[in-house]
Amino acid sequence: MPNYSRALELPEPGTETFFLWGPRQSGKTTLLRERYPEAVWIDLLKADEFRRYGTRPELLREELARSDARFVVVDEVQKVPALLDEAHWLHENRGIHFALCGASARKLKRGHGNLLGGRALRRELFGLSARELGADFDLVRMLNHGTLPRIHVADRPRPLLNAYVADYLKEEVMAEGLVRHLPPFSEFLNAAALTDTEQVNFTNLGRELGVSRETVRGYFEILSDTLLARMLPPYRKRPKRRLSLAEKFYFHDVGVVNFLAKRGTLEPGGELFGKAFENWVFHELRCYNSYRERFADFSFWRLSTGVEVDFVINDLECAIECKSSASVQTHHLKGLRELALEHPGVGRRVVVSREPKSRTTSDGIEILSVEDFLGELWSGGLF
């Protein structure tokens, strides 16, 4: 597999204690091993280490007392939350720094795990971005294979995606006791994939699955807490007209969506290609926002009539509409034009498209090619 240089910058070894979160197979362990080859390594995926530290977390303190180690990596730290108390003590009293890595903070948060009282930085690793792929970036491949490194480069992604979903259900959901009954949650995953990039109606989805509205909401929270998905809130400030206030839903990886929703091969021009395109644009926005530490807020704007703008950044600093068409037409611009009528102070209005050359309309809407969108984004031009 190609060794792509990741855009996430990590601290120099032994200078900071930090959490590194990210969905399964996003490359966290690979990145940490490359960045910190001399670190003491504790891998809680190994059954023997899980048993040792799970029953006696104080072993970490006792073992490091016989070592001059100044930097320790704990992989899958959420499996033994009590190790965080030991890491906290060692950080405070021995000056030892830690990289605490995991695919989910849900167990820690729900169990009131020690998150080191704000002393630890938070970093997040996503799937591959176009920036990281460089010359290997291919939009059609990205929208079909997804962003997870091993799956993205595979010739046959579907068997790997099948194993990915099965491992998620087994390791994250069942093993951690996140739901009482696995089959309804498994059915929910397939149903949720059909709502990707759309607003969620918890009541209707619960009726379809035969569970309560509250159960469906809890399932979505599990997806968010295990970093498999994210909810996008609506922009609500200073409305002149009635807004649609339900949240939108995005899986973290479009390849996972394709598999769960039983999509075939996506080709440019189709509706499903357009939905995958919107998911990917959000992925790129989140990667840039996190890796460059911009701390921007994302939302979407939608009138009750259905007129919508896909992404609003901060307080109308930039508004982005996603159109996978190779020829953006006047009707594609309605949402951005309605937004400007509602909020005349809106900043840049951008359409990300597959048009070969970027252009600007007479009223200032920028229609950017994929290449120019990526250039503007990663150079800091959008926010």
Which tens digit of pLDDT belongs to each residue from 195-221?
999 999 999 999 999 999 999 999 999
Residue limits of CATH 3.40.50.300 in the chain: 18-124
pLDDT tens-digit map of 313-367: 999 999 999 999 999 999 999 999 999 999 999 999 999 999 999 999 999 999 9
Which residue type, as a one-letter code, is found at position 171? E
Give the domain 18-124 fold: Rossmann fold (3.40.50)
Which residue, 209, 204, 160, is CA-closest to 183? 209
pLDDT score of 112 more than 60: no
Q: Where do we find the tokens 């990663």?
A: 378
Burial of 199 (0-12, 13-18, 19+ CB in 10 A): middle
pLDDT tens-digit map of 357-373: 999 999 999 999 999 99
Distance in angstroms (rounded) separating the CA atoms of residues 238 and 310: 18
Q: Count CB atoms within 10 A of the CB of residue 89.
A: 15
Q: Where do we find the tokens 């400007």?
A: 340
- pTM score, whole prediction: 0.94
Distance in angstroms (rounded) separating the CA atoms of residues 182 and 199: 25
